[in-house]
Amino acid sequence: MNDTHGFTLTRRGALVGGAAAASAGALPAEAQTLTKESPTPTVPVAFTVNGKRRELDLDPRVTLLDALREHLHLIGSKKGCDHGQCGACTVMVDGKRINSCLTLAVMHDGDAITTIEGLGTPDKLHPMQAAFVRHDGYQCGYCTPGQIMASVAMLQEIKDGVPSYVSADLTAKPRVDGQEVRERMSGNICRCAAYSNIVAAIGDVAGEDLA
């Protein structure tokens, strides 16, 4: 794995890299090989991430989240609980939001994955990203990539007519209102509790006042 492509060295990276280099020098050659070996046969997998084809050869235990962060260095998707409870790892697979921590990367051969990096850039924000900035829809920011990915996919689900537990009429076209948005965003936790501003940002994009 090439650890440096497209990356500027961070202080943490320099510390970790420095420690690894120091200990590598002290280890016999076999031990170095051993630490790199996977105990199980690796599995080839190819998918597109943000429109770009990526091919990896992975230990089957690698989750989609770890493949994105540790192998492809797309560190926008966050690891919060690693058990599907917090939503910080939310990405879209073929346009649908999922918890990338609860799926294996090798299960996604041929899939199209979108991460927060593929949604917008600092120069050209996605409207949801701009709305989160405008409404202060975060404090520490750790849950924000997951909140934004979930928000964009959630509005599409409403557009596609997917009902929710709070939809009064199951057969009617669902509406964008505060109750619907809160119910549909319950898989994303914000420990700073910026919820009211997150709902306001989503309402801004949907053209509804959800305050």
Partner 1 sequence: MKAFTYERATSPAAAAAAAAKPGAKFIAGGTNLLDLMKLQVETPTHLVDVNRLGLDTIEASGDGGLRIGALVRNTALAADPRVRRDYGVLSRALLSGASGQLRNKATTAGNLLQRTRCPYFYDTNQPCNKRKPGSGCAAIGGYSRALAVIGTSADCIATHPSDMAVAMRALDATVETVDASGKSRAIPIADFHRLPGNTPWIETALQPGEMITSVTLPRPVGGTHIYRKVRDRASYAFATISVAAVLRPDQGTPRFAFGGLAHKPWRVEAAETQRDAKGIAAAALAGATPTAQNAYKIPLVERTLASVLAEGAAA
Nearest-approach distance from CB 176 to partner 1, in angstroms = 14
C-alpha to C-alpha distance for 77 and 196, rounded to whole angstroms = 22
Task: Calculate the CA 125 to chain-centre distance.
Answer: 17
Choosing from 14, 15, 20, 107, the residue that interacts with partner 1 (CB under 8 A) is 107
- Binder of partner 1 out of 14, 35, 161, 192 (CB under 8 A): 161
- Residue whose token pair is 């997951």: 146
Q: What angle do CA 59, 64, 70 make, to 5 degrees?
A: 70
Nearest-approach distance from CB 89 to partner 1, in angstroms: 9
3-state secondary structure of 123: coil
Per CB under 8 A, contacts with partner 1 among 4-63 are 39-41, 43, 59-61, 63
Contact 109, 127 (CB under 8 A): no
Comparing CB distances to partner 1, the nearer of 74 and 105 is 105
Residues 62-101 that bind partner 1 (CB under 8 A): 63, 82-84, 87, 90, 96-99
Taking residue 26's Cβ as centre, other Cβ atoms within 10 Å add up to 7
**Token pair of 208 as six digits:** 């509804």
Footprint of partner 1 on this chain (CB under 8 A)? 39-41, 43, 59-61, 63, 82-84, 87, 90, 96-99, 102-104, 106-107, 109, 150, 153-154, 157, 160-165, 167, 170-171, 182-188
